[in-house]
Amino acid sequence: MNVTLLLLTLVFSLVNADCGGEFKIICYFSSWTGIHPEAKNCTHIVYTFARVEDDNTLTGVWNNPLKEFKNNKDPDLKVMLAVGGQDYVIRRANEMMSKDEFRQKFVISTTKLLRTHEFDGIDLNFEPSEALGPPSSPNPQVIEDKKRFTVLCKDLQEEYAEEAARTGRTRLLLTITISGVKKQLESRFELDELAKCADWLNVQTYDYRGSRDKVAEHHSALMPAASATDEDKDLNQDSAIKYIVGTGIEPSKLTLGLPTFGKKFRLTSDLHDLGSPASSVGSVPYTELCRNTNSGWQRVFLDDRKVPIMTKGDEVIGYDDLQSMELKINYAKEQRLGGIVIFPVNFDDSAGQLCNHGKFPIVSLVKELTSNYTVSCAPLTTPPLNTTTAARNRTKNITPKWKIPRTDYFGPNIGPYRYHRRVNNSARILNSIYIVPCVLFQIFFLIV
């Protein structure tokens, strides 16, 4: 009887593997600022940015300045490496994915670089953010072939599972940052496939407005504007999350983007309402927004969008403060999402002297509101936009189409050695979330 209960418990835990875990606080860290986040408030820190070299290898990182955070402060902290973020990297990524041999070289190089510098995983961030600077052209680079992107994700997932089974190390994490715009989600991502091969998906629920817009609007509204029509109804966080969940993806596989910057517009007409003609001025860090509140800017909270703006003369800034951030954090919990992505953590008030809310008030708020909270397994209280029932998505091993000999690999504490890539059936079985429950059920019925 005890064996039977144990088997049922194991099966139940596998079936609910996407929920019941910790709420992730993912701090995106821009390496060039020199401002380090407080590790105690982050479950994951994402170090930015690596790039795709001309020879199709992962490069641009020579050390990991954050590894001491794990060694000395929080051994449970995960430090990841992001690749992407800017136009030229996305252009190179498109070229890398265009041929099997290019993609294979990239996949193998990621394992070597991550293990060499003691990173715990990789985030494929091929969604450029205007917080890093305006795009270099009127038509920013995007991933051109969503099927090739899916193949890359599957190849990386299989590579990391196989490497972990062979070396005995903890498997490297694989995450993907996706757009928060419905139209782009439909055209540029195979969401159901990406949800299977990635550990989770970071939803870029900001940059809804920017340099390409000719009107003043909020770039990261939680809810749609009451006056929104047509595609404008989709330019908000709630619409993005509900669209993705409506495709059948488990909510706990998603993390919500929380921007630490606002977008400034300069009005170009006598009209001073949101939606009025305007030109984009650029992104404004949270610390500068705090300065504005003490220098004559007027704050207005938008009840429909659940976010504030500040105005002064002919300028208007759509941004987030602690009030709107609390609403977004609670929204993520109510929708039983897997976590929050703070982008970038460097724009938070690291010294605690500008915003008068202590050090890192944004990160601290997320930590406070999610302390001792685990991701809920209960059904959503409100139905998704698409109520069609779909199969739950699981991370699983997927055999890639390419198989060639490996000339080098890094094993645990033994340096590089020669290795011939081969199929590892036992590793596949142990890592497959579909096969294990079937085996356990068979054992259960044999015992009964």
Domain boundaries, given as residue ranges, for the chain: 1-17+438-448, 20-259+320-432
Q: What does the alpha-carbon distance between residue 40 and residue 367 come to, in Å, rounded to a whole number? A: 9
The pTM for the full model equals 0.82
Q: What is the pLDDT along the chain (448 residues), one digit of tens a residue?
A: 344 434 433 333 333 346 889 999 999 988 766 677 777 899 999 999 999 999 999 998 888 888 877 766 677 899 999 998 777 788 899 999 999 999 999 999 999 999 999 999 999 999 888 887 766 666 777 888 999 999 999 999 999 999 999 999 999 999 999 999 999 999 999 999 999 999 999 999 999 998 888 999 999 999 999 999 999 999 999 999 999 999 999 999 999 999 999 999 999 999 888 999 999 999 999 999 999 988 999 999 999 999 999 999 999 999 999 999 999 999 999 999 999 999 999 999 999 989 999 999 999 999 999 999 999 887 765 544 433 333 333 333 333 333 344 444 444 443 433 333 433 444 333 444 444 444 444 444 444 4
List the beta strands (DSSP E) in 286-391.
298-302, 307-312, 315-318, 339-343
Provide the 8-state DSSP code for 374.
B
Tokens of 266: 């300069």
Tokens of 11: 């099966």
My answer on whether omega of the bond before 75 falls inside 30° of 0, hence cis, is: no
Q: What does the alpha-carbon distance between residue 210 and residue 219 come to, in Å, rounded to a whole number? A: 7
Beta-sheet pairing, 415-419 with 406-411: antiparallel
> Which residue, among 286, 277, 233, 231, has the nearest Cα to 258 in the 3D structure?
286
Tell me, which fold does domain 20-259+320-432 have in CATH?
Answer: TIM Barrel (3.20.20)
Burial code (b: 16+ CB inside 10 Å, e: under 16) for 407-434 equals eebbeeeeeeeebebeeeeebbeebbbe
DSSP string, 241-288: HHHHHHTT--GGGEEEEEESEEEEEEE-SS--STTSBEEEEEEEEHHH
CB atoms near residue 149 (< 10 Å): 23
Tokens of 163: 């490497």
CB 192 within 8 A of CB 218: no
Residues 6+ apart with CB under 8 A from 335: 241, 245, 251, 380
Q: What does the alpha-carbon distance between residue 101 and residue 105 come to, in Å, rounded to a whole number? A: 6
